[in-house]
Amino acid sequence: MTKRLGWVWRCAASAMVFIAALGVTVEAKTFRWANDGDPTTMDPHARADLFVTTFDMNMYEALLRRDRELKLKPALATEWSNIDPTTWRFKLRQGVKFHDGTPFTADDVIFSVRRATAPGSDLAGQLAVVKEVKKVDDSTVDFITDGPAPILPNYLVGIAIMSKAWCEAHDTTSAAMLKDEESYATRNANGTGPFMLKDRQPAVRTVLVKNPNWWGLKDQPIDVDEVVFTRIENAATRVAALLSGELDMVYNVPPQDIERIKTTRGMKIWETPELRTIFLGMDQSRDELLESNVKGKNPFKDKRVRQAFYQAIDEDAIKTKVMRGFARPTALMVGPGINGFDPTLDKRYPYDPVGAKKLIAEAGYPDGFQVGFDCPNDRYVNDEAICQAVVAMLARIGVKVNLLAQTKAKYFAKINAPGYQTSFYLLGWTPTPLDTLHMLSNLTQTRSKDFRDGAWNEGGYSNPSVDQLIKQIQVDLDSEKRNELISKALSIVKEDFAYIPLHQQIVVWATRDNVDLAPMGNNDFQLRYVKLN
Amino acid sequence: MLAFLVQRLFQAVLVMLAVAVIAFALFNYVGDPISSMVGQDTSVADRERLRQELGLDDSFIVQFARFVGRAARGNFGLSYQQARPVGQIILEKMPATLELSFVAATLALIIGVPMGIYTGLHRDTWLSQLLLAVSLVGVSLPTFLIGILLILVFAVMLGWLPSFGRGSVVHFGWWSSGLVTLDGWRAIIMPAVTLSLFQMTLIMRLVRAEMFEVLRTDYIKFARARGLTNRTVNFGHALKNTLVPVITIAGLQLGSIIAFAIITETVFQWPGMGLMFIQAVSFADIPVMAAYLVLVGFFFVVINLVVDLLYHAVDPRLRLDRERVGVG
């Protein structure tokens, strides 16, 4: 009798499970989106690629995270403070579990920072200032830094916390590329984040599902149950798939397709000013330019020539003609949203071709000169077209610019350290920690022999007072005073015409009109904000 | 026969080595993979270390010898982009490309040959003229344009077919097939038509021209004089004799279908080897590019071999020649 009842119970129970499962499948909300790139690895420490990090950080979490307004918010750490100038103390969130069920502890933090800074991890450069991570107790860790490090928390946003036990069990305690085999973490993920990896077909399709045990659910319910990401490289196909209803969202939309989507019913365009600044740089360090007909001297060492270049370029025309309005002209090397951006300094010198012609004549080049110009053609929005516009504009003041536009793999190999084989180039820069210091030390600090300072200062700009200010900004823990120092440095860089800032791009995403999401200026795409109505 | 095969295999190895040398010589021009692999905050020292680990600072000859040595053991190294074994990536992508090429080639044959016969036999009817005119459009429009137009009409405007991807696939061991699901067939229609269009017109025009040629020959006149039916004359005698050049061209075209699937695959985001190659080029992913190029070289050699063997099946004279040589 009891046996038979047991059987009935089991039947009823499985029927209920079945019905529940049915209910879920009926209600399951799937969000389908596409981009031209692929998150090439699920290992959050392997590559510091913007899209890889953006994607993986939906499954993994760091001690801190950014909200939709880009403000720093607690994630796996609940509070943090400087207990002394070289120690940051983090209180860890309790009761958090990884996707596989193992609890999150201080050991995982120490392990993850070690993994992220060991050879093979591409994040090591961001944590160069960290000397040691110490466990105080199970819920507290200290970061000991090499000197005061005011923006360490900003960097920690990008350092995913992995499970020590999981990494050890799967022999993936290093993010390094192995000799001949694939590391387990490349196609598997085990984070604490709001989404879990369900299926990964590299370069084709990646499926995430909602993490029903996510610690943040009580404050922020997640609307989508499943997220399907597809890589679609061809822009026309990507847009077509959105218009035909096969996708809910396409991440970067090329400017030429925006009108088409806008005028289609049921579609929505999202515009966000990006934090990346597009600018031109000039070689100011060599005594003779590599690619120029001026011999025995370097025209760019003369500030008047740099100013003439600046004022000969009509950024408004670039904005309207090349960028079709999707750009924000800038006078500074950082845009709004970056800590340290100073709106009072953000006024461009006017477009003045006549004055520019006069300046360049005063500098000793009444007939202009010739110079080579390096430009990527697959890196930034309409990069090559911008460069062609610049060539035409400089021709009006007699400068003959020989444009070399090439694929990014060749372009960066040419202009980057250690060779810096360029005379004049176009580049874009987003400060990783969203703080101006990062731009200043990479682009304006005098280059050091070991390439640690001014690593991306391709033109070799050097001004001792800027260097002095950078040294102060690096260690200043008082944010108000620090921002004053940043403003001072920004204004010197501007008055020196160290660079010719052009614009910040406007990121354009397109969705069906039932989609709600949080577009962010750093190109971050947090799936937890996605809602399907 | 065995000697013939061995000789051909030896040739295959030579061809693949030659392809590898040329490919490696070209890799100097694709750019620096390191700059694709690292982020902006990676120090110069770390970049150099990575370069050393990957052996990118070695000379051309050392890099090439290492590649050949490892490839001979079936090891193509790790993809720079995906950090996964190249052999595995290619095995994942190959079924998609082969299925697409197979369907496209079949389409080209089963549509191209009848159209060729029809236009060859009835050269002045309005239908022949129409087919020829349409085929002219087929050869002159670039592949990606045809692809985009198809997407616009059948995916965006009509909503009948998916605009990208392969639909759902079923796995048989390492082979993934989209040809056993309805979804998969819906997804393959547009890419296969796009890819086959050029070959279709080519085959049609070739069959048509050959038919003209053969129908003028004496033995056809004799066949008609013997009172054979039109059917026997046209298909039994005429068509059979047009097939040798058609097989050659169709065979060689199969190689180019596989090789030129690149554009079609990019337009339809078809997850095959062509798309993989394009992704590798933009990343300067040298191991993937090298393996792909060598593999395509191999395909061409194999297809040529099969074509040679088919001649024997179709043309009895060749069989006789070889037997005579064999006996002698």
Looking at the complex, does the CB of residue A183 fall below 8 Å from at least one CB of chain B?
A: yes
Of A246, A409, A417, the CB nearest to B36: A409
pLDDT at A33: 96
Q: How far is CA A136 from CA A64, A105, A128, A139, A192, in A?
A: 19, 12, 22, 8, 22
Rounded Cα distance between A493 and A131, Å, is 31
**Average pLDDT of the residues in A295-307:** 95
pLDDT at B192: 94
Sign (positive or negative) of CA dihedral A75, A81, A86, A90: negative
pLDDT at B32: 85
Which residues from A are below 8 Å from B162, CB to CB?
A: 246
Average pLDDT of chain A, as a whole number: 91
Looking at the complex, does the CB of residue A180 fall below 8 Å from at least one CB of chain B?
A: yes
Of B41, B45, B268, the CB nearest to A48: B41
Between A and B, how many CB-CB pairs are < 8 A?
Answer: 162
Work out whether strand A267-282 and strand A72-74 pair parallel, antiparallel, or are unpaired. unpaired
pLDDT at B60: 84
* % of chain B residues with pLDDT over 90: 24
Q: Is the pLDDT of residue B327 over 50?
A: no
pLDDT at B319: 63
Closest chain A residue by Cα to residue B85: A181
Give pLDDT tens digits for A1-22: 444 445 555 555 555 444 444 4
pLDDT at B210: 87
CB–CB of A241 and B41 under 8 A? no
Per DSSP, the three-state class of B296 is: helix
Distance from CA of B25 to the nearest CA of A (A): 16
A104-141: burial string, b at 16+ Cβ within 10 Å, e else: bbbebbbbbbebbbeebbbbbbbbebbeebeeeeeeeb
CB–CB of B32 and A413 under 8 A? yes
Give pLDDT tens digits for A348-400: 999 999 999 999 999 999 999 999 999 999 889 899 999 999 999 999 999 99
Give pLDDT tens digits for B296-319: 888 888 888 887 777 777 777 766
Q: Is the pLDDT of residue A84 over 70?
A: yes
Of B35, B43, B266, the CB nearest to A234: B266
Sign (positive or negative) of CA dihedral A508, A512, A513, A515: negative
**Average pLDDT of the residues in A392-419:** 92
Q: List, in sequence order, every residue forming a beta bridge with A65; answer none if it has no partner.
A: A73
Give pLDDT tens digits for B107-147: 999 999 889 888 888 888 898 888 888 888 878 888 889 99
Give pLDDT tens digits for B239-293: 877 887 888 888 878 888 888 789 999 999 999 999 999 999 888 899 999 999 8
**Average pLDDT of the residues in B183-190:** 93
pTM: 0.86
pLDDT at A62: 96
- The region of weakest confidence among A20-34, A38-52, A103-117 is A20-34
Give pLDDT tens digits for B17-55: 898 888 888 887 888 888 888 888 888 888 888 888 888
pLDDT at B323: 56
Rounded Cα distance between A203 and A187, Å, is 11
Looking at the complex, does the CB of residue A234 fall below 8 Å from at least one CB of chain B?
A: yes
Which residues from B are below 8 Å from A244, CB to CB?
A: 155-156, 159, 163
**Average pLDDT of the residues in B65-85:** 88
Nearest 5 degrees, angle CA A467-CA A470-CA A474? 145
pLDDT at B9: 80
Distance from CA of A516 to the nearest CA of B (A): 23
Q: Is A451 within 8 Å of A418 (Cβ atoms)?
A: yes
Q: What is the largest CA-CA distance in chain B?
A: 86
CB–CB of A407 and B31 under 8 A? yes
pLDDT at B311: 74
Which residues from A are below 8 Å from B46, CB to CB?
A: 119, 122, 124-125
Q: Is the pLDDT of residue B328 over 60?
A: no
pLDDT at A9: 52
Confidence of residue A23 (pLDDT cuts 50, 70, 90): very low
Structure tokens belonging to residue A500: 């010719």
- Looking at this predicted complex, what is its ipTM? 0.85
- The residue written with tokens 């994630």 in the block is A75
pLDDT at A237: 93
CB–CB of B159 and A455 under 8 A? no
Confidence of residue A96 (pLDDT cuts 50, 70, 90): very high
Rg (CA), chain A: 26
Confidence of residue B227 (pLDDT cuts 50, 70, 90): confident
pLDDT at A315: 96
Query: Which 8-state DSSP code applies to residue A292?
Result: B
Rounded Cα distance between B104 and B99, Å, is 8
Give pLDDT tens digits for B163-175: 999 988 888 888 9
Q: How far is CA A369 from CA A168, A420, B153, in A?
A: 61, 21, 52
Distance from CA of B44 to the nearest CA of A (A): 6
Confidence of residue A347 (pLDDT cuts 50, 70, 90): very high
Q: Give the number of other CB atoms < 10 A from CB of residue B59.
A: 8
